[in-house]
Amino acid sequence: MQLRIPGPTPCPEEVLRAQSRQMINHRGKDFSVIIRKVTEQLKRCFQTQNDVLILTGSGTSGLEAAVVNTLSPGDRVLGVSIGAFGDRFADIARTYGADVKKLSFDWGVPADPDAVRQALKDDAGIKAVLVTHNETSTGITNDLKPIAAVAREFDKLILVDGVSSVGSIDLPVDAWQCDVVVTGSQKGWMTPPGMAMVSMSQRAWQANEKAKMPRFYLDLGRARKIFDEKGQTPWTPGISTLYALDVGLDAIEKEGLQNVFSRHARVAKVAREGAKSLGLTLFARESHASNTVTAINVPSGVDGKKLLQILREEHQVVLSGGQAKLEGKIFRIGHLGWVAESDMNVVMAALKKALPAAKGA
């Protein structure tokens, strides 16, 4: 079975084995040893010297934590959106009472850093910029470096959804001075769903002191305190997912972070070139095509749903459809985490057979 959706992603055998380990006391020494080790490894993958906190929850819990721990109701924020996940980030902020100003771009193109600059120039009251690094719904990687630089230029907080990029696509958190960056265990980490990982800059902690949005389960101040003092989490953590992360992170470090990034770039190229060689067209602007997910237009005359069904049932290849307004219009290949060029060759071979069959349908 080739599970090639943009999360959950396949896990290596040793990760699955780690998950089957016996439970331990989450208030004991053994747990603190594992979480401290995993946190140090995550910090290297985030390329940060600042705090990284591990929450039990999916990626969205991390996005919610980013918002409620740095903002207050009534704060004006710029919600930069190029797709479904940019919209979700803005929706979370709106739900907690932020005054969200949306800066939306067409789906399939990246955000324009100059437009972000203009928006911040036009409205001095904006406190924070919310942005997606890698927009999984459209297969676009934003130019985060210049966008973060614009946020710095205007001295705004920048909160980043890096759920499908951190650990797979280069995102040097400290070098680019990103304040809060979020990822999730089921994306590039070769581990099952269950954990969100969130980095907090010094500036983010300063904002945290004044942030009044309600929070309890996702209170990062509380998480930092008990982690620093005891190597624990405030609430019972998903211990099995932590076991998996422990092993998944070892694999990433053994391969080398830069090598992991270049493998993702190579695999993505095979996906794009393969799709084109089958006569398919890419949905995302190619200059910003993502290295973790490839979005492909459903060709005319082909039933996208039928195509995914044939791939799944006759070729054991599981791909994703389009989200929200792209449903039925595109399909997506996830290629992050435990993935190699050979996997994309398998996907392409299956697509080659399935396409004509889905056309006849």
The smaller minimum CB distance to ligand PLP, of residues 83 and 231, is found at 83
Distance CA 358, CA 215 (A): 48
> What part of residues 124-153 is at the interface with ligand PLP (CB under 6 A)?
132, 134, 136
For the CB of residue 341, give the shortest distance to ligand PLP in the complex, in Å.
22
The smaller minimum CB distance to ligand PLP, of residues 39 and 134, is found at 134
Contacts of 38-44 spanning 24+ positions with Cβ under 8 A: 38/242, 38/245, 38/246, 38/249, 39/227, 41/249, 41/250, 41/252, 41/253, 42/197, 42/245, 42/249, 43/199, 44/253, 44/257
Stretch that binds ligand PLP, among 56-64, 103-111, 300-308, 343-351 (CB under 6 A): 56-64
Q: Which two tokens stand for residue 206?
A: 């300063």
Q: Which two tokens stand for residue 255?
A: 């391969």
Best CA proximity match to 18, nearest among 239, 255, 257: 239
For the CB of residue 316, give the shortest distance to ligand PLP in the complex, in Å.
23
Among 19, 56, 58, 323, binds ligand PLP (CB under 6 A): 58
The count of other CB atoms within 10 Å of the CB of residue 298 is 23
Stretch that binds ligand PLP, among 24-32, 55-63, 241-249, 333-341 (CB under 6 A): 55-63
Determine the residue type at 256: G
Among 2, 4, 5, 7, binds ligand PLP (CB under 6 A): 7
For the CB of residue 248, give the shortest distance to ligand PLP in the complex, in Å.
16
Which strands make up the sheet holding 195-200, listed edge to edge? 51-56, 195-200, 180-184, 157-161, 126-132, 76-81, 99-104
Best CA proximity match to 6, nearest among 171, 195, 142, 184: 184
The smaller minimum CB distance to ligand PLP, of residues 201 and 292, is found at 292
For the CB of residue 43, give the shortest distance to ligand PLP in the complex, in Å.
21
For the CB of residue 15, give the shortest distance to ligand PLP in the complex, in Å.
18
Question: Is residue 161 part of the contact set for ligand PLP (CB under 6 A)?
Answer: yes
Question: Is residue 164 part of the contact set for ligand PLP (CB under 6 A)?
Answer: yes
> What part of residues 167-186 is at the interface with ligand PLP (CB under 6 A)?
184
For the CB of residue 124, give the shortest distance to ligand PLP in the complex, in Å.
29
Q: Which two tokens stand for residue 173?
A: 């958190």
Residues that bind ligand PLP (rule: CB under 6 A) add up to a total of: 13
Stretch that binds ligand PLP, among 45-53, 160-168, 198-206, 207-215 (CB under 6 A): 160-168
The smaller minimum CB distance to ligand PLP, of residues 65 and 354, is found at 65
For the CB of residue 122, give the shortest distance to ligand PLP in the complex, in Å.
27
Question: Is residue 323 part of the contact set for ligand PLP (CB under 6 A)?
Answer: no
> What part of residues 61-100 is at the interface with ligand PLP (CB under 6 A)?
85
The count of other CB atoms within 10 Å of the CB of residue 24 is 15
The count of other CB atoms within 10 Å of the CB of residue 205 is 18
The smaller minimum CB distance to ligand PLP, of residues 80 and 358, is found at 80
The smaller minimum CB distance to ligand PLP, of residues 59 and 274, is found at 59
For the CB of residue 75, give the shortest distance to ligand PLP in the complex, in Å.
21
Q: How far from 157 is each of 48, 64, 65, 341, 354, CA to CA, in Å?
A: 17, 15, 14, 38, 47
- Which residues sit at the interface with ligand PLP, rule CB under 6 A? 6-7, 58-60, 85, 132, 134, 136, 161, 163-164, 184
